[in-house]
Structure 1
């Protein structure tokens, strides 16, 4: 999907799941709706259920579902279902950070140690290259800092064999940063792009240090409330999903479905704890790219990928389509959930789609879906 190397994920790869198959498609203004590639994934028993919501530049809205939200009851996926949005959280965190820059409460070229709590600042300053990392480099994943999710112990406990025993454990940002700093950096700051969840964990701490409020509180005040994103929340350490919601599934082997709906999302924190809905994600990206959340200079900076060789901006990445169009957005992957939102640069034409498993969609499936949505 993205034009650069695959992004490290807040998930493990999953095998096939058994499920019933249903399908429905509705449109806001009528017209022929092509069969979604997501329906094929359900038919092939790759995922239990899938949903897709799009709006084109003329205001035509399409919503389609396939499969089930709950393999036990057979309930279908609903448009208002809440789900874990994973790393789409990063787009919201980047938006809040750039709003603070627009208000001159920080400069993106400031060393980040000047905007962190003293203990974290000292720990980072004592790490190799740490004192030279800037806010901009965190936003663009060019800090070189090791991603705490790549730590073997963390990966085992949150994604692997230790998940059952550790799924409800609370993690503090300080602890997760220490996990990251126990490893050497990937590269000196600013020298190359390497996706790291540690970057956005630190940005969440920057927001608190600059504003005196948590990143969740600032996101609610600056993004969620103004846009009336009624299905979006930051659960903190709450393990359950708000209603209505379906179930989230992972698998350790063919045909073996594991319900992973309940988990403590503090392991993801500012890098991926957000819960949302497809309508909310569309509304957020439409407002963001349409200029309703950032001044023009900050929005241009968000879409500037020169520091990463075209891979990533600030909380968003570009996807270049075969019809010579480029769309912008982010994906999110966490135990039992995969979602992606992509939109044209003006935010007028966009699509959000999700599956209730932590399986990254086959590249051909996503390519066909996006070609069908934006090119055909």
Structure 2
């Protein structure tokens, strides 16, 4: 994500109000200078032990200089692992972000949810192409909707974070602006988020089109919980976190805390004609639920996506299903497949290398999670910034993504 210009994306990606990465790219940035002034003097990039990668250190510093509060980046490839951080852990303070600090990963959560659901398919407890309504009675789900449609965003279900329907935007729950800041500790039940979505007409007949909707993954979470009899957090721990030794990864539920070392995120809005910047690191993430509530680290995201792509978490036939891209946006089952054959909401490596990815973000946190299809080369990163309704960091963020993707995947 590092081009200065924002390219055109499929309308259905941009339309969704809840997937923060595509929406972040809707407008070019105009307030990077203001963010830089808030951040104070730039702190030189710091690298962890490993092979010296001056090109990555320079890219990291350029990202912070473009207006981000802080950044932490990790690259693993044939030369080994490299990690670095730059900028500030908090606005106005000199300390850098921790090299492997925790952060809110946003929609990268979806890849974890899809992996757990597909493990249940491998065990014969769910059918990928069987209707899910029988497992989730009481919602009035269309009986044509299958697990595959939920995981690939082809169900047609309205997004509770707001969506386009019949050519007009219809809002959902509040997740931006002053109103969200003031009510960011509100608890939402996943069942209520689903009912809100299902109170709206389907955007299209199930299986006939593609439309990104966070509701699909809240339904997938409820399906996992119904079939296993355990919370998603418990199944995540049992199936992925403990086997892979992911020490910084949690599904927080309604807890507003980020456990362990972490950088801070911010939100800016106007009050009485004056700009006000608020630390929004602590928030109740139940507003997004399994659409994007998880917390992780760059090391854990690397370990996870590498293990997934190398076949350690799913049998080969299901991994192949996961990596089969839909023709509209290159979306497989819980991740984007960027091979140049479909439009993509994220920058492609300039050299044409094929990558799989599911980036994400929530207010003030932007996450990158990329891998080659075999898991042999990965890029994971967290950028912190001052968010706002206008998405003024969209341009710098896209430029940051492009630079890092090119450095990580183009020799």
TM-score, with normalisation over the residues of structure 1?
Answer: 0.90
Shift of 1:252: 2.9
The CA distance in 2 between the partners of 1:131 and 1:328, in whole Å, is 31
The 3-state SS of whatever aligns with 1:222 is helix
1:23-75 deviation line (CA, Å, top 9, x unaligned)? 2243654344214434223213x2111111111134x2111211101114332
2:72, 2:100 within 8 Å by CA — same for their partners in 1?
Answer: no
Aligned Cα RMSD in Å? 2.2
C-alpha change, 1:174 and 1:75, in structure 2 (3 Å) is: same
1:216-267 deviation line (CA, Å, top 9, x unaligned)? 1111100001111000011111112112122111223798532111111111
- 1:287-366 equivalence runs, <5 A: 287-305=307-325, 307-309=326-328, 311-319=330-338, 320-357=348-385, 358=387, 359-360=393-394, 361-366=396-401
The 3-state SS of whatever aligns with 1:311 is coil
Deviates further, 239-248 or 341-350: 239-248
- 1:77-156 equivalence runs, <5 A: 77-116=97-136, 118-120=137-139, 123-124=140-141, 130-150=142-162, 154-155=172-173
Report how many aligned residue pairs link the two structures.
Answer: 364
The 3-state SS of whatever aligns with 1:372 is helix
1:164-188 deviation line (CA, Å, top 9, x unaligned)? 3321111011110111122222211
Instruction: Give the aligned partner of residue 127 of structure 1.
Output: none
Instruction: Give the aligned partner of residue 63 of structure 2.
Output: 41
Structure 1 gaps of 5+ residues are 125-129
The CA distance in 1 between the partners of 2:19 and 2:152, in whole Å, is 18
Matched, 1:75 2:95: yes
Instruction: Give the aligned partner of residue 261 of structure 1.
Output: 281
The CA distance in 2 between the partners of 1:108 and 1:164, in whole Å, is 39
Structure 2 gaps of 5+ residues are 2-6, 164-169, 339-347, 388-392
C-alpha change, 1:83 and 1:351, in structure 2 (3 Å) is: same
Match of residue 284, structure 1, among 297, 304, 309: 304
The 3-state SS of whatever aligns with 2:369 is strand
The CA distance in 2 between the partners of 1:94 and 1:4, in whole Å, is 24
Match of residue 51, structure 1, among 72, 75, 79: 72
1:249, 1:257 within 8 Å by CA — same for their partners in 2?
Answer: yes
1:192, 1:308 within 8 Å by CA — same for their partners in 2?
Answer: no
The 3-state SS of whatever aligns with 2:91 is coil
The CA distance in 1 between the partners of 2:171 and 2:152, in whole Å, is 26
The CA distance in 2 between the partners of 1:310 and 1:175, in whole Å, is 29
Match of residue 230, structure 2, among 198, 208, 213: 213
TM-score, with normalisation over the residues of structure 2?
Answer: 0.83
